[in-house]
Structure 1
Amino acid sequence: MTSRVTLVSPAMSPSLRQARFYDGDPIDDTGAAHARSAAGSLPPAARTVLSPSARCAQTAAALGLDGVVRPELAGLDVGRWRGRTLDEVGAAEPEAVTRWLTDPDWAGHGGESVQQVCERIGRWLDAMSDTDGRTLAVVEPEAVRAAVVHALALPVTAFWRLDVAPLTATELSGRSRRWNLRIGRPLTAPATPAAD
Structure 2
Amino acid sequence: MTTRVMLISPAMNPALREARFDDGCPLDAAGAAHARAAADGLRRDATLLASPTVRCRETAAALGLDAHAEPALAGLDMGRWRGRTLEEVGAGEPEALARWLADPAASPHGGESVRLLCARVGTWLEEAARSAGRTVAVVEPEVVRAVTVRALGAPEAAFWRIDVPPLTATGFTGRAGRWNVALGTELGRGRA
Q: After the TM superposition, which residues 90-169 of structure 1 pair with which residues of structure 2 at under 5 Å, given as runs?
A: 90-169=90-169
Task: Map Cα deviations across residues 120-145 of structure 1 (whole Å, 9 max, x no partner).
Answer: 00000011111111100110111000
**What residue identity is the alignment partner of 1:77?**
D
Question: For the residues of structure 2 that align with 1:41 and 1:88, how far apart are their CA atoms?
Answer: 40
SS of alignment partner, residue 55 of structure 1:
helix
Name the counterpart of 1:51. 51
Q: How does 1:59-74 map to 2 (within 5 A)?
A: 59-74=59-74
What's 2:187 paired with?
187
* Whole-angstrom CA distance in 1 between matches of 2:7 and 2:67: 13
Residues of 2 paired with 1:102 and 1:190: CA distance? 35
Looking at structure 1, the residues matched to 189 and 129 of structure 2 have their Cα atoms a distance apart, in angstroms, of: 29
Rg larger for:
1
Q: Describe the superposition over 1:75-112 as per-residue Cα deviations: whole angstroms up to 9, x where unpaired.
A: 00110001111111001000000000001111121100
SS of alignment partner, residue 105 of structure 1: coil
2:142 & 2:116 partners in 1: Cα distance? 12
Amino acid at match of 2:169: A
1:85 pairs with 2:111: no
- TM-score, normalised on structure 1? 0.94
| Alignment correspondent of 1:34 | 34
Distance 1:78 1:30 in 2: 26
- Long gaps (5+) in structure 2: none
4+ residue stretches of structure 1 with deviation over 4 A?
Answer: none
Aligned counterparts of 1:45 and 1:144: Cα–Cα separation in 2: 21
Q: Tell me, what secondary structure is at the counterpart of 1:72?
A: helix
Structure 2 contact 44–65 (Cα < 8 Å) conserved: no
Residues 35 and 59 in structure 2, CA contact (< 8 A), matched pair in contact too: yes
Contact residue 44 and residue 134 of structure 1 kept, 8 A: no
Aligned-residue RMSD, C-alpha: 1.4
- Distance in 1 (CA, whole Å) between partners of 2:132 and 2:10 is 25
Aligned mates of 1:65, 1:131 — CA distance in 2: 20
Length-normalised TM-score, structure 2? 0.96
Aligned residues of 2:50 and 2:138 also touching (Cα < 8 A): yes
Q: Secondary structure at the match of 1:122?
A: helix
Q: Paired residue for 2:173?
A: 173
Structure 1: gaps of 5 or more residues: 192-196
8 Å CA contact retained: 1:173, 1:181: yes
Give yes or no for contact 2:40–2:188 (8 Å, CA) kept in 1.
no
Deviation at 1:67, TM superposition (A): 1.0
